[in-house]
A = this chain, B = another copy of it.
Amino acid sequence: MVPRGRPRDAGVEGRVLDAAMAEMRARGYDAISVDRVAERAGVAKTTIYRRWPSKAELVMAMIARLRGGVPFDPSDDPRHDLTELVTGIAATLEALPTTLVADLTAAAAREPRVGESVRALWAERHAAVTAVIAQAQTDGLLPGHADPRVVVDQLVGPLYYRLLITGEPIDPAYVRALVHSTLGPEQS
């Protein structure tokens, strides 16, 4: 099933995403101009819009390329596992410029397809958190009265809240406090 016409230049996608990444590192999200990306990649602006229908989707593709597999093997210590998972999510969020996260959030709210991409990006990790919580409940390490999905929200939601709304720092101590507040005090 070979397509008919002129084939797409295989190098374009990589060159454009590289150029977009370089632009973002150099100037931040706002200043990513599709015109400049096109120029840097040696490609016409229209070619970019033929592949990615908006700047937001272009940036999404750029981010998605970064996402490596996140290895995680659950131990039998939910406290440790949760701390590790939440720390990983926090680290990923903090590694990106805040304005980028905020702009992607806005783009996700505006365009459902971007929203899907963003959610897909996190799905794996959030599922892992949910699984650890459910396991902790069946093991009796966590009171069973709460909906695991709510607990996930209470562990992950505050990260976004601090990052996007209050601007307060997200440090290891904060992550520990979150897990602490969720699981109750350490019992040694």
Contacts and interface: CB of A to CB of B under 8 A. Distances in A.
Interface stretch (A16-24, A46-54, A70-78, A157-165): A157-165
Q: Which of A99, A101, A161, A162 has the most CB of B within 10 A?
A: A161
Interface string A144-171: 0111001101101111111011110000
A39 interface: no
A30 B110 contact: yes
A60 to B, nearest CB: 14
Copies of chain A in the complex = 2
Interface residues of A, number: 42
A181 B150 contact: yes
B108 A102 contact: yes
B180 A146 contact: yes
